[in-house]
Structure 1
Amino acid sequence: MYRFLLTPRWWGINVFVLLAIPFCIFMGSWQLSRFEDRVQGHQSADAQASANEKEAARPLAELLPVDKATFGKQVTATGRYDRQLLVPDRELDDRKGYYVLTLLRTDGGKALPVVRGWLPGSPDPAKAPAAPRGEITVTGALQASETPGDNGVSARSGLPAGQTAAISAASLVNLVPYDVYDAWVTLDTADSGMTAVPVSAPADTGLDLKAFQNLGYTGEWFVFAGFVVFMWFRLLRREVEFQRDAELGLVQEAEEPVTVDAGSK
């Protein structure tokens, strides 16, 4: 009854099933590992953030370039505040507002973007406190340059003068006539009645939409594997039932087509 499994049609079905199931399981396991990596990265980032708060601040030059090991560490830099910009569309405690960003000109001539605090509402230069004058030493958490359109960072263009969508050297270098560090600092204590901006998580370490997409893809691949098995058994059952009905004479064979000789009438 099961001789049909040796037919070319069923050989093709069986080969497909034998290849599809391991592939689906492999892809599901890979997506699951990606989700677990993000969970572990999130836990490591939280632990590192707690450790960074207890560490003494170090000079900026010792922590550059910014990577996962130096992200969020306490840093100090000395210089004079220069141009001030506002960063719109930034939420804090579920309230909309904006960052007050001021460029700190260091002794080397390059500027370090410093987020001095957060204010609620729409960006308003009149409400943003002026930066302190003279030489000043700032202390805060080191952050990596932002990427527009990633991790909630706005990708808007055509902003009014005095505003920038992303805190990154690539964006700021077009707004000032001097070089900018490929990093920025958020002050531990905000200036002049503003709210301090908390340290953000390093890229690809948070339980964000991408992490839960990985978890969703994991379920999809395992469901696909189960669906392939289900469809194989369903086809097998239908074929067995057809063979059984044929043996009992319950299936009528298709009538042979009648050919007409064009020469005979």
Structure 2
Amino acid sequence: MYRFLLTPRWLGILALTLAAAAVMVLLGNWQLDRYRERTAVNERIDAGTAGTPAPLRSTLPAPTGGAGTVGAAPAAQAEWSRVTATGRYDAANVILVRGRTVESRVGFEVLAPLVLDDGTAVLVDRGWVPPAPGGALAMPEVPALPTGQVTVVGRVHPTETGGNGVDRRDGRLETRRVTVDKLARELPYPLHGAYLLLDEQTPANDPAFRAVPIGHTNNWQNFGYVVQWWLFAVMTLFGYGWVARREARRAAGLDAPKPPVDRAAEPAPSA
């Protein structure tokens, strides 16, 4: 019954079916890798919530170049960990990051370079402030930086990508994305290759700031895609088997259509 499967036509259909199923399995495997990566990120975020802050130098490599250069990016296991650093804020180079949303409101995140004793600096995200009346891009009221020595505790946030560069407005640098290498070109000292989301500060941070929340990655979406692609692969193979079985039954006459019933030839019902 199934000898027809060895014909060139059906061998071609089988090859296409197997190729499609293999691609779907590979896509599922790729999504599984993404699920594992995002799960690891979420675990680091959770671990950083309760972890004891480590010295900045033990977690984030120091930059080794001159002014305008950037240090190495942190290792993956160091991202979102808590670190502590001590230095002095540079009030002349405050950075506003526009278009940032906290609690469904669009405003600004305020970054300040913390200059360390060795002359390098790390960007510290002090928190979120609303725009001034007049629209989401209206220049906000930014609380003054503390003077003198400051000690901060914050989360290691990897540099963002994209953005349209850095502008200067009303004496402050302004950008859309916290892209450390672009910001470094505007500053008179080398920068570390990540920035810090402020958790604690001595002296205390101004209460006008709202903490920037750290959102977990949606790893379960990737897991759903894993199931979806693998299910599609199974359905593709099942579909091939179903079509082949139907063709075999048709060739054997098992699924031949029944002849129509001739109603005129049936005897009339008796009175």
Q: TM-score over 0.5 for the alignment?
A: yes
Partner of 1:77: 86
Equivalence map 1:1-265=2 (5 Å): 1-17=1-17, 20-21=20-21, 23=22, 26-27=25-26, 29-31=28-30, 33-34=32-33, 36-38=35-37, 40-52=39-51, 55=52, 57-65=53-61, 66-71=74-79, 72-82=81-91, 83-121=93-131, 122-125=136-139, 127-133=141-147, 135-149=148-162, 155-157=163-165, 159=167, 161=169, 162-189=173-200, 191-198=205-212, 200=214, 206-208=216-218, 212-213=221-222, 215-216=224-225, 218-242=227-251, 244=253
> Structure 1: how far apart are the matches of 2:38 and 2:192?
30
Task: Flag the 1:124–1:187 CA change in 2: closer, same or farther, 3 A.
Answer: farther
Q: 2:264 — aligned with what?
A: none
**Coordinate RMSD, CA, aligned:** 3.4
2:85 is paired with a residue whose SS is strand
Change (3 A) 1:85 1:70: same
Stretches of structure 1 lacking an aligned partner (at least 5 in a row): 150-154, 251-265
Shift of 1:199: 5.8
- Percentage of matched positions with identical amino acids: 21
| Runs (5+) with no aligned partner, structure 2 | 62-73, 260-271
Per-residue CA distance 1:69-96 (angstroms, 9 max, x = gap) = 3333131222242311111111112221
Q: Is the CA contact 1:38–1:207 (under 8 Å) kept in the aligned structure 2?
A: no
Q: How many residues align?
A: 234
In the TM superposition, what is the alpha-carbon distance from 1:119 to its structure 2 partner? Answer: 0.5
Distance 2:42 2:140 in 1: 40
Partners of 1:108 and 1:241 lie apart in 2 by 83
Conservation of the 8 A alpha-carbon contact between 1:145 and 1:168: no
Normalised by the size of structure 2, how large is the TM-score? 0.70
* Cα deviations by residue, 1:56-114 (Å, 9 ceiling, x for unpaired): x4432222133343333131222242311111111112221111111122222222211
